[in-house]
C-alpha cells in the first residue's frame, strides 16, 4: 500500500517561498506520476504540478507555471521523495496542499480522477 506524507507547509508573506516535501513508501511499480494538488476553502481541488519519476518530466498548471518547480530526490530511490518549490507566493496560493500518486509510465493530467493514492495534506498560508 502506497503511503504519502506531506511536510513543509507554513505561513509566509507574499513574495516569499516555501518548499513542500512528499515522502512516499510502499512503492512497488517502477514508475509513478506524482502530483501536487491544492484546495482552498470553498473551492474545488486544483492540480498544480506533476512529475514522472522514471524520467523527471514535469507539468504545471497555468496558475503556478514560472513560479513553482517540482523535483525528485535522485540521491535515493527516485520514487521516495518529491519536492514542490514555491516561489513568489501570493495570497491566492493559500490552500491545503496534497500529494498524490499513481503507477504510470506516462505523465498524467492534473485531475483528481487520475490519481490513486493521497496524502493527508499540509497547510500553506500566504499573507499580504
The Cα–Cα gap between 35 and 38 comes to: 10
Using alpha carbons, select from 8, 33, 41 the residue that is nearest to residue 121: 8
> Given this model, what pLDDT does residue 78 score?
47
Say what the alpha-carbon torsion angle 6, 114, 54, 21 is, to the nearest 10 degrees.
-10
DSSP secondary structure letter of residue 79 = T
Q: Which residue has the cell 499540509?
A: 122
Whether residue 86 contacts residue 124, with contact meaning beta carbons closer than 8 Å, is answered with: yes
In tens, the pLDDT along 94-123 reads: 999 999 999 999 999 999 999 999 999 999
Per-residue pLDDT of the chain (128 residues; tens, 9 = 90+): 899 999 999 999 999 999 999 999 998 898 999 999 999 999 999 999 999 999 999 999 999 999 999 999 866 554 579 999 999 999 999 999 999 999 999 999 999 999 999 999 999 999 99
Q: In this structure, is the dihedral angle defined by the CA atoms of residues 68, 73, 74 and 80, taken in order, positive or negative?
A: negative
- Reduced to 3 states (helix: H, G, I; strand: E, B; else coil), residue 107 is coil
> Given this model, what pLDDT does residue 27 score?
87
Amino acid at each position: 500500500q502506497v503511503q504519502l506524507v506531506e511536510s513543509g507547509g507554513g505561513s509566509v508573506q507574499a513574495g516569499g517561498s516555501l518548499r513542500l516535501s512528499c515522502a512516499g513508501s510502499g512503492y512497488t511499480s517502477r514508475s509513478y506520476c506524482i502530483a501536487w494538488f491544492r484546495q482552498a476553502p470553498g473551492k474545488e481541488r486544483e492540480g498544480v504540478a506533476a512529475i514522472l519519476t522514471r524520467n523527471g518530466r514535469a507539468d504545471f498548471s497555468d496558475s503556478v507555471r514560472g513560479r513553482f518547480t517540482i523535483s525528485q530526490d535522485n540521491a535515493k530511490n527516485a520514487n521516495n521523495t518529491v519536492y514542490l518549490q514555491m516561489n513568489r507566493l501570493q495570497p491566492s496560493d493559500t490552500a491545503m496542499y496534497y500529494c498524490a500518486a499513481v503507477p504510470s509510465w506516462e505523465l498524467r493530467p492534473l485531475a483528481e480522477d487520475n490519481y490513486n493514492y493521497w496524502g493527508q495534506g499540509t497547510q500553506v498560508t500566504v499573507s499580504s
